[in-house]
């Protein structure tokens, strides 16, 4: 992908900028789809029609929403801290976008093929916490402040089980590189992590061989449980229902972004949707084979067109990611909100002990097998 | 060439917020400026091919220490409306300490034998070597640090816990 851009535009700064901006194009298009999905799916689940006036079945509603947000007056409250208030939304989106640097969209496109991919992903998402506190403090509003404190307490608690699940997968594959984790799951659907990982030896990009056999089926229950735990932690980290305590409408107006309007609100909104896809993409990469086709073969190989393989791989990752975003929306319109104490109980007394236990068992099994 | 420009970008990102930390009268500004200083330092580590330390820097300092600092500052001022005095005081002791620190730094700076390697060697994956060293040669310090942290966490939990009321 990079070489294609280089051959088109030459080896200059423009190429680098375009290469880095590709995920942004994807996020913008995906955000439109997700906004429409949220209103339409919620409507179906509640036996309503949802927006119907803009275009056939209301499908251009998200575009109308974007124009509405663009036209809105940009208000900075008189008592707010001007600098931090204006900085926070950008920092929030920056942290979400920076994480996309290591998401492999296909075998040919990954922003930065870091050997520390997963570790970087964990670290950079902590920037979002700083942005949320900044927004909550700068708004000079008690609802914003409470919302941001709840958000931070929640994210900090759920980072621990999420990190433990990542450790489980890293122990199994022996690499922090996301491309390696995906390569380890290549082939048909039963090689995916959620079904116990690869069933035959895999050669990683570094040349190392990950030896595997059908005995890996023993990992199936552990990885299945890890997947569920990671997804729950992901829901909490993106502040989605049933973990939307930081934005609880009935208590806190809308939490840390109560005072934001217009495009600055849109930035928070975008970063929330970007984070939703991020969590879904990481779930797809860790447990569902990333850009691997579930059939183990590609149309592009049959036609002898390598570019088609890359497009197909991107398609598979997008389908898997969007499916998990759909599940998030589905959960949101199905479950009620947890209480704060239930939230903390869930993280510290359920997810953390279980994730540590699974890490211990998987560690022993990796050494034995 | 590009790396030199990047170095100056990251250096500016480190130093300018650092000045804000020192000179700002607002504690919250100082705390949030640290965020950018930490990011800049992480960038400098990347330029030095120390990728693992760079990511650990973001993880520990931004994800942990800075959040804790901001929380502390927030709870003191915004939540309880107590103004914290941030005036200039105790000028003489401060001058002595700062002068001593500056003298030591200058001594080290001038005394060190700086040698320049032509190009930074490309290191593939510092995580693997670091992990192996931590699990073999340095396993004892690593485990001791782990136990120390565990004790610190348990101590913090014990202090923060409300004392049980004695039934009379």
Residue A110, beta-bridge partner list: A104
Binned at pLDDT 50, 70 and 90, residue B152 comes out as: very high
- Do the beta carbons of residue A181 and residue A173 sit within 8 Å? yes
**In a shared domain, residues A93 and A32:** no
**In a shared domain, residues A53 and A194:** no
pLDDT at residue A75 in the model: 79
Rounded to whole angstroms, how far apart are CA atoms A236 and A343?
9
What tokens appear for B139 in the block?
Answer: 């396993």
Q: What is the pLDDT along chain A (369 residues), one digit of tens a residue?
A: 666 666 766 667 777 788 888 888 888 889 888 888 888 888 888 888 878 888 788 788 888 888 888 888 887 887 777 888 888 888 888 888 888 888 888 877 787 778 888 888 888 888 888 888 888 888 888 888 888 888 888 888 888 898 899 889 888 888 888 888 888 888 788 888 888 778 777 777 777 777 777 777 888 888 889 999 999 988 888 877 787 777 767 777 777 778 787 788 888 888 888 999 999 999 999 888 888 888 877 777 777 777 788 888 888 889 999 999 999 888 888 888 888 888 888 888 889 999 999 999 988 888 887
> pLDDT tens digits, residue range B36-46?
899 899 988 88
**In a shared domain, residues A219 and A246:** yes
**In a shared domain, residues A160 and A240:** yes
Which value does ipTM take for this structure?
Answer: 0.78
Query: What is the DSSP-derived secondary structure letter of residue A10?
Result: -
- Do the beta carbons of residue A80 and residue A140 sit within 8 Å? yes
Rounded to whole angstroms, how far apart are CA atoms A29 and A173?
33
**In a shared domain, residues A48 and A113:** no
**In a shared domain, residues A93 and A29:** no
**In a shared domain, residues A300 and A165:** yes
**In a shared domain, residues A63 and A144:** no
What tokens appear for A147 in the block?
Answer: 């919302």
| Domain boundary, last residue among A22, A53, A71 | A71
* Domain assignment of residue A285, given as a range: 79-368
What tokens appear for A340 in the block?
Answer: 């704060």
**In a shared domain, residues A49 and A95:** no
Least CA distance to A80: which residue of chain B? B78
| Domain boundary, last residue among A42, A71, A100 | A71
pLDDT at residue B101 in the model: 94
List phi, psi (to 5°) of A105. Answer: -80, -25
> Which of A83, A84, A116 is opposite residue B51, by nearest beta carbon?
A116
* CB within 8 Å: A122 and B59: yes
Chain position carrying tokens 């990079």: A2
| Domain boundary, last residue among A71, A101, A130 | A71
Shortest Cα–Cα distance, B53 to chain A (Å): 11
**In a shared domain, residues A281 and A183:** yes
Domain total of chain A: 2
pLDDT at residue A357 in the model: 92
Is A115 in CB contact (< 8 Å) with chain B? yes
* CB within 8 Å: B58 and A126: yes
**In a shared domain, residues A347 and A266:** yes
Is B67 in CB contact (< 8 Å) with chain A? yes
Mean residue pLDDT across chain B: 81
> Which of B28, B56, B127 is opposite residue A176, by nearest beta carbon?
B127
**Closest by Cα among A217, A163, A164 to A194:** A217
* CB within 8 Å: A129 and B28: no
pLDDT at residue B97 in the model: 93
Query: What is the DSSP-derived secondary structure letter of residue A290?
Result: T
Testing the interface with A: which of B2, B28, B50, B59 to mutate, by most A Cβ within 10 A?
A: B59
Residue A203, beta-bridge partner list: A209
Portion of chain B with pLDDT greater than 90, in percent: 19
**In a shared domain, residues A122 and A54:** no
Considering only CA atoms, give the Rg of chain B.
21
Q: Which domains, from first to last, does chain B contain? A: 2-88+123-160 (1.20.120.1200)
* Residues on chain A touching B67 (C-beta within 8 angstroms): 126, 129-130, 133, 152, 156
């Amino acid at each position: 992908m990079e070489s294609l851009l280089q051959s088109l535009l030459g080896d200059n700064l423009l190429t680098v900028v375009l290469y880095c901006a590709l995920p942004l194009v994807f996020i913008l298009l995906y955000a439109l789809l997700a906004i429409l999905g949220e209103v339409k799916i919620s409507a179906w689940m509640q036996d309503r029609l949802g927006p119907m006036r803009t275009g056939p079945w209301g499908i251009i509603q998200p575009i109308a929403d974007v124009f509405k947000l663009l036209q809105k007056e940009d208000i900075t409250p008189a008592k707010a801290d001007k600098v931090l208030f204006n900085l926070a939304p950008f920092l929030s989106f920056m942290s979400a976008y920076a994480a996309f640097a290591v998401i492999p969209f296909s075998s040919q496109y990954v922003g930065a093929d870091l050997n520390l991919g997963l570790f970087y992903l964990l670290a950079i998402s902590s920037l979002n916490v700083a942005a949320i506190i900044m927004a909550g403090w700068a708004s000079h509003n008690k609802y914003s402040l409470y919302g941001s404190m709840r958000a931070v307490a929640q994210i900090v608690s759920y980072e621990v089980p999420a990190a433990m699940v990542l450790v489980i997968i890293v122990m199994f594959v022996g690499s922090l590189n996301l491309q390696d984790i995906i390569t380890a799951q290549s082939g048909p659907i039963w090689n995916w992590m959620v079904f116990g990982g690869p069933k035959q030896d895999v050669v990683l990009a570094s040349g190392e061989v990950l030896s595997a056999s059908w005995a890996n089926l023993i990992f199936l229950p552990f990885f299945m449980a890890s997947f569920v735990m990671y997804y729950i932690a992901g829901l909490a980290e993106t502040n989605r229902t049933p973990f939307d305590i930081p934005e609880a409408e009935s208590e806190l107006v809308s939490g840390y972004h109560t005072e934001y309007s217009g495009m600055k609100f849109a930035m928070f909104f975008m970063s929330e949707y970007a984070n939703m896809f991020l969590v879904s993409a990481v779930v797809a990469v860790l447990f569902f084979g990333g850009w691997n086709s579930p059939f183990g073969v590609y149309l592009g190989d049959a036609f002898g067109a390598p570019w088609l393989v890359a497009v197909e791989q991107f398609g598979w990752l997008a389908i898997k990611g969007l499916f998990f975003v759909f599940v998030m929306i589905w959960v949101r319109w199905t479950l009620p909100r947890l209480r704060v104490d239930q939230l903390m109980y869930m993280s510290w007394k359920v997810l953390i002990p279980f994730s540590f236990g699974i890490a211990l068992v998987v560690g022993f099994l990796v050494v034995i097998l | 060439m590009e790396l030199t420009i990047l170095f100056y970008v990251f250096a500016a990102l480190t130093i300018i917020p650092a000045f804000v930390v020192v000179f700002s009268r607002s504690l919250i500004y100082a705390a949030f400026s640290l965020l950018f200083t930490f990011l800049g330092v992480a960038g400098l580590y990347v330029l030095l091919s120390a990728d693992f330390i760079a990511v650990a820097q973001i993880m520990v300092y931004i994800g942990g220490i800075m959040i804790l600092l901001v929380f502390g500052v927030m709870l003191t001022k915004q939540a309880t409306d107590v103004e914290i005095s941030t005036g200039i005081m105790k000028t003489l002791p401060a001058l002595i300490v700062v002068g001593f620190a500056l003298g030591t730094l200058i001594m080290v700076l001038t005394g060190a034998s700086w040698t320049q390697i032509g190009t930074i060697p490309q290191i593939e994956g510092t995580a693997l070597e670091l992990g192996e060293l931590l699990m073999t040669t340095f396993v004892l310090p690593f485990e001791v640090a782990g136990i120390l942290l565990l004790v610190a966490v348990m101590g913090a939990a014990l202090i923060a816990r409300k004392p049980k009321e004695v039934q009379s």
